[in-house]
Structure formats: structure tokens, C-alpha cells
A and B are shown apart, each in its own frame.
Chain A
Amino acid sequence: MERNIYGYHCRECDTLHYPFRMRCKGCGQNDFFEFDSVALPTHGRLLTFTFVHNLPAEYEVARLGLGVVELDNGIRMLGQLDIADPVMGMEVEGRVGVVRRETYDDFHGMVFTAA
């Protein structure tokens, strides 16, 4: 099954939201059925990053790469990094993968590698 991360496009004013908003932050229209779901682009630029060492117990790694990426359409999102030596401004490519495992659930999100 192909998995995507979706943005929410306002039919009234074209504002694109990620994550979901119930009201448009551009025009304030009050009907959330006026949003179209659109798959977000996967290519972008790394704005900032960190490696987290004090992780929640379910992560079985010594440190976890996280970064904020500006996608090609201007949406900024947090994602995990599968990049050994990230640099601010580098080009990255995202794919949807498992980002957190809990007892009964796997959670999917964007994992970025060097483009």
C-alpha cells in the first residue's frame, strides 16, 4: 500500500495547510469540507536538525535524527532524518516509514534521506 502525507488545500483562497486545520488560516472560512487533501511533495531543504539522546523508552537507538524540512511547495514539516552527517540547507528526499512503534501500533511519518 502506498502511503502519503497529506496537506489540506482551501478551495476558497488556495491556502495549503499542514497539519490539518478545521478553519482556514488564510480566509477563515468556517466549513472544513471545503478542503481538498493533496499529497505533499517529498523533496525539500533541511532548515534545522538535532540528534536526540534522551529518547522515549520504545526507541531502541542511541540517538535519533530529527529535522525541519521546507518542502518544494513551501510547507514546513518535522521529520526523522536517516542522514549520518546532516548540514543546514542540504537537499533531502522523504519517504513514509515507521517512525514510532508502540505495543499495538506502528505510527507512520516522513523519514528524510540526502537527495
Chain B
Amino acid sequence: MRDVFVAGIGITSFGRLEYPLAEIAAYPAMMAMQDSGVSSVDQVYVANMGGARLNHQTALASAVVDTLSLTPAGAATIENGPASGAAAIKEGFLAVASGMHDVVLVTGAERMREVNALDATDFVATLTHPIAEYIYGVTLPAHAAMFTRLYMDKYGVTERHLAMVGVKNQNNAMRNEFAHLQQPITIDGVLDSPEAFTNNPFVAEPLRFFDCCPVSDGGACIMLVSADVMKGLDRPAVRLAGVGQATDSHTVAEREDPTELPAVRLAAAQSFGMAGVEPQDVDVAELHDAFTILEIAESEEVGFFAKGEGHLALEKGETELGGVMPINVSGGLKGRGHPVGATGIAQAYEIVHQLRGEAGDRQVADARIGFTCNFGGFGNNVLALTFVREG
């Protein structure tokens, strides 16, 4: 396989966007072309989960490639639930690594706020098993809640630990101009004060409002290129060095140990193995914190901390900006927002931004190795990417 580099990156503001889905995908792609200085593109992959259902838009990639006046370049839409973004990056990686293409745009977009919040939650729930899960009224927060209760029982994770993740990530988002949530929160406000119960009601017990990511519109893009193309560019060279993906049972209830996320563990191990690095070598990571418990559980499964000790590392501040293993300094899904199809690419955007040393007041010092975990379904389709700064 050929080496694959990230030549350009782009992102929209996350939140409520008033322009069409195809433009939410095209805008960050245009930014990535400006960033790299490359505008001769062989292939465009567009990650999106809900265009057909939420926005009355199918065949999104055809719309995007034309909006960008990149026809007759190849184009395809990748729908892989909330892991659409990193799944599209994997396709882009394969296209360049195989030698078939030299320049591939991988862009992702979602416009979820076109519908109300309950419909958006129900739309995401359509990824669950139609007969054994969806008909019962299960939502993704409900899956996360049942997982949380087991985690609390087995490992001593408390509501306070969950709140600490939420406060950390939402406050990290204050340093990210593109983040959806631009409001600082405190443990007192969401947990301890007399008003906390009103501020922070249950979504799915024991998870509360501030344990859940917002419903967001947004788009993000990375441009993947071959070594030959990268050589001619005046941009810092960041290599996509490891790509891992693993799946697990469609229904969550069937899993042998319901407190484990084996697809996260397998995807991460593949990604690190391919890159030739250890989890402890990672300088900065973006984990899929759609719910606060997931940051804790994923930080263990990918190998940053021992199983059952993620919440202890959190207590010690190890996952903060400035800690030994900074996680979600962009704000994560919790603070930056979670436009489902774009999230895996927004994570990659942040890591490349960090490895280039361009992240401003949220920069992790001397970051050379970065990692992302994009978690689809409730852990039934997971991708893990490892990025390395060269030179």
C-alpha cells in the first residue's frame, strides 16, 4: 500500500445552519481545497446518515460534486450510521493507498435541526434492530443509560464522574470557534446546586441532559493525497498511518459482557498495529462522547487506561488539556456537537489541526501522534484512525 497524507482540512460552524445539506458538505470541501492549494480532485466521498429521511435529499454526493464544479470526478455517498464519517475516510484511504487515485476529498455533513429534537432522536434510533429494539421505543440515550447503570454497578462510576466529562468537554468547546455549545458549565450548576435538577433533567435515567451531545447541523472535510502530491505542497505533512474497523452484534442485549465494547478494542488495536504505535504513544485523542459514559469506556477499550480505571484518570485530570492524555480538547461531540454523518471527519479535522500545531489556545504541546474513535450504532460499527506528524 502507498502512504496516505492529509493535505487539506475544512469545517463549518456547528449548530443550526440555514443552508442546504449539499452546501454544508461542499463548504468544508472548498476550505480543504483552499488549505491544500490542490483543486484537481479524482474522487469525492460524502458521509451522511440522514439526508433522505431528514432533508429529502438522496444521492448527496452527486449534488456535492456538482456544487463544487468538480464534475466529472467520481463521487459516492457513504452511509454508515454515526460512523459514516470515519467509514468514508477509510474508503478515501483505500482509494489513495491502492494507487487508484491521488487526490480524494472526504467530506461529511448532516442537517438534523430541520426536524424537532424528538424526531431527530427517533431518526437516530432507526439504526437499532427493527424487531428486537426499535419497536420498544429505544433511543440511543436509552442504550447508553442501560450501559451506564452496569458500569456504575461494576466499576464505581458515579453521576459526578459523568458530570466531570460533560463539564470538561463543554468548557473545552469554549476554545473552539466552530463548536455548537458556547456556554461554560460547572459541576455546581449541573449536579450540586438546588437548581441542578431543573437545569439538568433526566433524558434516560441515570443520564441527564448535560450527559448527552446536542443535535447539530455541521460539516467537515479532509483531503487525502498520495506522497507524490504531498511532496509538492507547502503544508505540514500529517500521515493517516492507521485505519481500523470492527463490528459487533446489532442488538446490544445479546453481548456476552454488556460492560465491554469489543468493537472499540478491536478497531483501536488494528489502527495502532498498522501505524506501529502503542496507545501510550498518543499525544491527543478525539473519542466519540455522544454520551459522557462513552468517553470513559472508550478511553479504557482503546488502551489509554486499564479497564474500569478511566474514571480515575478523569478524576486526576489526566484527560484535560495539559494532562498526560488530553481527550476531546475540541469539545468532543458533547461540546462541538454531533452532526452524525460529519462527526468522524470533524474528529480527524481536529487531530490534523493539532498535529500541524495550528490549534491556537487549545493546542496540545508537541503533539505528533493523534487518534480518533468514531463509534457507530451502540458500539456495533466502530472505526479508529491514527495520524502521525512527519518530519
**Which partner residue on chain B sits nearest A111 by CB separation?**
B136
Answer whether residue A41 sits at the interface, using C-beta atoms and an 8 A cutoff. Answer: no
Residues from chain A with Cβ under 8 Å of B150 in the complex = 47-48
Complex contact A53–B201 (CB within 8 A): yes
Instruction: Report how many residues on chain B are interfacial, defined by Cβ distance under 8 Å.
Output: 36
Q: Please tell me which one of the listed residues A54, A88, A100 contacts residue B136 in the complex, with CB atoms under 8 A apart.
A: A100
Residues from chain A with Cβ under 8 Å of B147 in the complex = 48
Answer whether residue B99 sits at the interface, using C-beta atoms and an 8 A cutoff. Answer: no
Expressed in whole angstroms, the Cα–Cα distance for A22 and B125 within the complex equals 23
Expressed in whole angstroms, the Cα–Cα distance for A53 and B137 within the complex equals 11
Q: Tell whether A99 pairs with B135 under 8 Å between CB atoms, given A47-B258, A54-B204, A88-B149.
A: yes
How many cross-chain pairs have Cβ atoms below 8 Å apart between A and B? 102
Residues from chain A with Cβ under 8 Å of B142 in the complex = 50, 52, 66
Complex contact B136–A80 (CB within 8 A): yes
Answer whether residue B92 sits at the interface, using C-beta atoms and an 8 A cutoff. Answer: no
Answer whether residue A114 sits at the interface, using C-beta atoms and an 8 A cutoff. Answer: no
Complex contact B202–A66 (CB within 8 A): no
Residues from chain A with Cβ under 8 Å of B118 in the complex = 54-57
Answer whether residue B133 sits at the interface, using C-beta atoms and an 8 A cutoff. Answer: yes
Q: Tell whether A52 pairs with B149 under 8 Å between CB atoms, given A18-B132, A77-B132.
A: no
In the complex, which of the residues B117, B121, B139, B206 has the most CB atoms of chain A within 10 Å of its own CB atom? B139
Answer whether residue B361 sits at the interface, using C-beta atoms and an 8 A cutoff. Answer: no
Q: Tell whether A78 pairs with B121 under 8 Å between CB atoms, given A19-B251, A88-B149.
A: no
Residues from chain B with Cβ under 8 Å of A50 in the complex = 142, 145-146, 149, 204-207
Residues from chain A with Cβ under 8 Å of B137 in the complex = 52, 55-56, 59, 64, 66, 80, 99-100
Please classify how large the interface on chain A is, using the bins under 10, 10 to 19, 20 to 34, 35 or more.
20 to 34
Residues from chain B with Cβ under 8 Å of A99 in the complex = 135-137
Answer whether residue A32 sits at the interface, using C-beta atoms and an 8 A cutoff. Answer: no
Expressed in whole angstroms, the Cα–Cα distance for A88 and B250 within the complex equals 23
Residues from chain A with Cβ under 8 Å of B251 in the complex = 19, 77-78
Q: Tell whether A52 pairs with B141 under 8 Å between CB atoms, given A66-B146, A78-B251.
A: yes
Expressed in whole angstroms, the Cα–Cα distance for A99 and B118 within the complex equals 18
Interface string of B126-143 (1 = CB under 8 A from A): 000101110111110110
Answer whether residue A76 sits at the interface, using C-beta atoms and an 8 A cutoff. Answer: yes
**Which partner residue on chain A sits nearest B125 by CB separation?**
A56
Complex contact A78–B133 (CB within 8 A): yes
Residues from chain B with Cβ under 8 Å of A66 in the complex = 136-138, 142, 146
Answer whether residue A67 sits at the interface, using C-beta atoms and an 8 A cutoff. Answer: yes
17 extra interface residue pairs, beta carbon distance < 8 Å, beyond A50-B204, A56-B121: A18-B254, A19-B129, A19-B132, A47-B150, A48-B146, A50-B205, A50-B206, A51-B202, A52-B139, A53-B201, A53-B203, A53-B204, A53-B205, A57-B119, A63-B202, A66-B137, A79-B136
Q: Which of A's residues lie within 8 Å of B, judged by CB? A: 18-20, 47-57, 59, 63-64, 66-68, 76-80, 88, 99-100, 107, 109
What are the 4 tightest A-B residue pairs by CB atom distance, in nearest-first order?
A: A50-B145, A107-B135, A56-B122, A19-B132
